[in-house]
């Protein structure tokens, strides 16, 4: 399919110069280059969710790489390659630095847009203040450049556009493409799967910067002019508008929009210089209001209605069992060891002096009144930044200030209190993401099998998720999302499971089954499970030990009978009117 369309597009490119007049061919060379950067920006924004206004800066870096090399070093193969590589490497370094600044711990998503906007200003100022070296405000022009016919340029840039579109298309439909969407949807969930969202976003930003700088190089070599304006925020913003108009996340839409708008602009800006800009502005507002998905998105959903042809579901993935690596108790270190853990929010003391040890093969229930600090304790175990004092060690490794993705790599699987899932992925894709750290996703294909350990498979089957593998998670009911998150966490093959009310919203039979699965994991696979549950009957059935928290302190730590017969637990937790035997559904 992609191959057929690609060949047709290449044929069109080949025929272009014979059908079009020289002026059109001349303009289209530039338009094709813009199409390539629109594709790079769409992968960055439409898929990875990073809105960058600074693509123009990378374009300018590439363009000046060419201009500076040819002006100061003269035209030769060596200087041509040096300029190309110099621009690309510089663009990559700048992008990595911007990403490092913008995707730091706890920084809002908007931040990257602000940083990239500032980047354009900085780049333009540097170009202005470069004196004779950069040509300051007049830029560099009239340098010796490749002696290539316009038609050849048309073929080169046209082929580059088709190639970018084809490679981009393959990428976004691959498992890596799904991973980008998962990070856009819910970066927190990804980090608790051990996936570094910021690391991957930096990679995508670097990749898009390199592609954009290569296009900038082509632009400079072709037009024989580079000027500071190329790096300005006006061009950066224009690129964003093209992508939005063409349909963010449709890949082909932004490329077509970039080519068409640039091409028509060239014709109309002569005859209608200001009106044309106004028209583009109005069109932008109209499309954003009427078609939030852009023109490409609107056309795609129309096509889907006309031909209900499964464009988006490349075969249903099968579930396959995989044997979880049974790690022998390689070190005698306990699964979790807490010493003096405390958490304060200002003057509010949520946890004080919590110390306990839990080993592999133990199923420990955390019990306590609402607001006792149970969820906070789980947070302190799974994210090194959370606690205010004390030490946490996982299998003998002190977690220090490690971020969640590093804690997850120590073997922690955490299920959140309210379902924490990927709304725009399907059930199958979500399960695949949970396996991403164990089985790195491929950038060019989709796995047709999803490998799940037996425990995850059992949850999937018991809750009917296996019958809705292609359903988009957004459409699942609350309880089914709970089950999906549990299955995803089990798919990670964790050594230590932290479960915050895993069966809330599930029916009694489903609960019983999940209870049995957890007990099996502890007994036969040597996991350590720390679980928060309010269904006391359920807690009694599955636990090997119960820890009671009250007002942020550990008040009781004992076996099931100790806790059940405790007067304290009866008073603060279960309620005095009813005996324990009657509680729970």
Which segment (28-36, 126-134, 351-359, 573-581) binds other proteins by CB under 8 A?
573-581
Contacts to other proteins from residues 174-233, by CB under 8 A: none
Cα→Cα distances 160→4, 30, 47, Å: 17, 12, 21
528-532/412-415 β-pairing:
unpaired
Under rule CB under 8 A, residue 553 binds other proteins: no
- Rounding to the nearest 10 degrees, give the CA dihedral for residues 124, 126, 127, 132: 160
**Closer residue to other proteins in complex, CB, 457/483:** 483
Write the CB contacts of 357 (distance below 8 Å, at least 6 apart in sequence): 334, 336, 337, 338
Give the CA distances from residue 14 to residues 25, 39, 153, 295, in Å, rounded to whole numbers and listed in that order.
Answer: 12, 21, 11, 27
Tell me if 341 contacts other proteins by CB under 8 A: no
Q: How far is CA 106 from CA 111, 181, 187, 198, 546, in A?
A: 11, 20, 11, 11, 34
Give whichever of 191 and 482 is closer to other proteins, judged by the CB atom: 482
- The nearer residue to other proteins, 374 or 435, going by C-beta atoms, is 374
Burial 277-307 (b: 16+ CB within 10 A, else e): eeebeeeeeebeeebebbbbbbbbeeeeeee
In whole angstroms, how close is the CB of 250 to other proteins at the nearest point?
Answer: 20
Instruction: Examine residue 583 and tell whether it contacts other proteins (CB under 8 A).
Output: yes
Chain centroid, CA 455 distance in Å: 26
- What's the CA gap between 138 and 67, in Å, rounded? 13
* Contact call for residue 565 and other proteins (CB under 8 A): no
Strands (E), 71-149: 140-141
How many helices (H) does the chain have, and how many strands (E)?
Answer: 23, 14
In the complex, minimum distance from the CB of residue 112 to other proteins, in angstroms, rounded to a whole number:
23
C-alpha dist (Å) from residue 469 to 317, 466, 478, 517: 8, 6, 16, 21
C-beta of 440 vs 575, nearer to other proteins: 575
Count residues contacting other proteins (CB under 8 A)? 42
Among 281, 396, 400, 575, contact with other proteins (rule: CB under 8 A):
575
Rounded Cα distance between 93 and 23, Å, is 37
Mask of contacts with other proteins, 492-521, x by CB under 8 A?
A: ---------x--xxxxxxx-----------
Among 137, 418, 524, 559, which residue interacts with other proteins (rule: CB under 8 A)?
418
Residues linked to residue 530 through DSSP beta bridges, in sequence order: 364, 498
Q: How far is the CB of 556 from other proteins (least distance, A)?
A: 15
CB contact at 8 A, 242 and 258: yes
Pick 344 or 397: Cβ nearer other proteins = 344
Q: Judged by CB, which is closer to other proteins: 63, or 484?
A: 484
Tokens of 545: 């030990």
Is 318 a binder of other proteins (CB under 8 A)? Answer: no
Region 466-485 residues binding other proteins, contact defined as CB under 8 A: 475-480, 483
If the CB atoms of residues 230 and 563 are measured against other proteins, the closer one turns out to be 563
Q: Assess 576 for contact with other proteins (CB under 8 A).
A: yes
Q: Does 538 bind other proteins (CB under 8 A)?
A: no
- Closest distance between other proteins and the C-beta of residue 458, in Å? 17
Which residues in the 48-77 window bind other proteins by CB under 8 A? none
Least separation in angstroms between residue 515's CB and other proteins is 15
Cβ 164 vs Cβ 36: under 8 Å? yes
Closest to other proteins by CB, 331 vs 578, is: 578
Residue in 265, 417, 424, 551 binding other proteins, rule: CB under 8 A: 417
Least distance between other proteins and beta carbon 577 (Å): 6
In the block, tokens 């706890």 appear at: 106
Instruction: Between 22 and 418, name the residue whose CB sits nearer to other proteins.
Output: 418
Q: Which of residues 344-383 bind other proteins (CB under 8 A)?
A: 345, 348, 368-376
How many alpha carbons fall within 13 Å on the CB side of residue 205? 28
State in angstroms the smallest separation of the CB of 578 from other proteins: 7
Residue 196 contacts residue 405 (beta carbons within 8 Å): yes
Whole-number minimum distance, CB 114 to other proteins, in Å?
22
Q: How far is the CB of 559 from other proteins (least distance, A)?
A: 20
Contact segment (CB under 8 A) with other proteins among 22-30, 199-207, 319-327, 577-585 equals: 577-585
Tally of CB atoms within 10 A around 370: 7
**Residue 401, interface with other proteins (CB under 8 A)?**
no
Q: DSSP string covering 275-322, please?
A: HHHHHHHHHHHHHHHH-TTHHHHHHHHHHHHHS---SS--SPPEEEEE
Minimum CB distance to other proteins smaller for 412 or for 574: 574
Q: Which is nearer to other proteins, 199 or 575 (CB)?
A: 575
Cα separation, 498 vs 493, whole angstroms: 13
Identify the helix (H) or strand (E) that includes residue 356: strand 348-358
Residue (136 or 388) nearer to other proteins, CB = 388
Between 429 and 533, CB nearer to other proteins: 533
Q: Is 16 in the site for other proteins (CB under 8 A)?
A: no
Q: Residue 546's beta-bridge partner residues? A: 365, 558
Judged by the rule CB under 8 A, the positions of this chain that interact with other proteins are 345, 348, 368-376, 417-418, 463-464, 475-480, 483, 501, 504-510, 534, 536, 572-578, 583-585
């Amino acid at each position: 399919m992609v191959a057929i369309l690609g060949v047709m597009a290449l044929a069109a490119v080949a025929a272009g110069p014979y059908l079009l007049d020289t002026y059109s061919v001349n303009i289209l060379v530039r338009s094709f280059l813009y199409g390539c950067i629109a594709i790079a920006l769409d992968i960055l924004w439409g898929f990875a969710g990073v809105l960058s206004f600074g693509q123009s800066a990378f374009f300018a870096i590439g363009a000046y790489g060419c201009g500076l090399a040819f002006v100061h070093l003269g035209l030769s193969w060596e200087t041509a390659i040096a300029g190309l590589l110099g621009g690309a490497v510089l663009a990559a370094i700048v992008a990595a630095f911007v990403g490092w600044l913008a995707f730091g711990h706890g920084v809002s998503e908007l931040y990257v847009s602000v940083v990239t906007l500032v980047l354009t200003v900085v780049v333009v100022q540097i170009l202005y203040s470069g004196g004779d070296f950069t040509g300051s405000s007049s830029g560099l022009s009239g340098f010796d450049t490749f002696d290539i016919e316009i038609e050849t340029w048309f073929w080169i840039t046209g082929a580059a556009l088709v190639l970018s579109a084809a490679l981009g298309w393959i990428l976004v439909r691959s498992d890596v493409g799904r991973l980008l969407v998962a990070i856009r949807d819910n970066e927190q969930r990804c980090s608790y799967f051990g996936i570094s969202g910021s690391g991957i976003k930096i990679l995508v930003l670097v990749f898009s910067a390199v592609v954009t700088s290569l296009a900038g190089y082509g632009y400079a070599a072709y037009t024989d002019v580079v000027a500071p304006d190329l790096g300005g925020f006006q061009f950066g913003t224009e690129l964003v508008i093209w992508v939005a108009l063409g349909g963010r996340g449709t890949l082909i839409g932004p490329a077509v929009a970039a080519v068409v708008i640039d091409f028509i602009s060239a014709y109309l800006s002569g005859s209608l210089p200001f009106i044309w800009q106004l028209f583009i502005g109005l069109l932008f507002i109209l499309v954003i209001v009427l078609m939030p998905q852009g023109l490409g998105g609107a056309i795609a959903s129309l096509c889907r209605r006309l031909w209900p042809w499964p464009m988006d579901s490349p075969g249903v993935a099968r579930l396959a069992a995989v044997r979880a690596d049974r790690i022998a108790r390689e070190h005698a270190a306990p699964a979790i060891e807490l010493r003096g853990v405390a958490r304060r929010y200002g003057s509010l003391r949520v946890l004080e002096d919590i110390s306990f040890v839990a080993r592999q093969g133990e199923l420990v229930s955390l019990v306590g009144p609402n607001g006792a600090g149970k969820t906070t304790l789980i947070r302190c175990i799974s994210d090194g930044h959370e606690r205010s004092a004390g030490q946490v060690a996982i299998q003998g490794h002190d977690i220090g200030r490690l971020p969640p993705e590093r804690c997850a790599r120590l073997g922690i699987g955490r299920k959140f209190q309210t379902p924490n899932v990927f709304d725009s992925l399907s059930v199958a894709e979500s399960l695949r993401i949970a396996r991403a750290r164990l089985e790195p996703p491929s950038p060019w294909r989709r796995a047709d099998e999803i490998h799940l350990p037996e425990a995850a498979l059992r949850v999937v089957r018991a809750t009917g998720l296996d019958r809705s593998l292609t359903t988009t998670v957004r459409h699942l009911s609350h309880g089914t999302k709970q089950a999906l998150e549990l299955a995803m966490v089990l798919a990670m093959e964790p050594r230590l499971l932290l479960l915050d009310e895993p069966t809330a919203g599930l029916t009694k039979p489903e609960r019983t089954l999940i209870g049995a699965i957890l007990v099996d994991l502890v007994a036969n696979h040597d996991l350590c499970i720390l679980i928060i549950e309010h269904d006391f009957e359920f807690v009694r059935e599955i636990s090997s030990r119960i820890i009671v928290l009250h007002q942020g302190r550990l008040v009781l730590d004992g076996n099931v009978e100790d806790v059940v017969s405790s007067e304290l637990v009866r008073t603060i937790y279960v309620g005095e009117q009813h005996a324990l035997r009657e509680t729970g559904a």
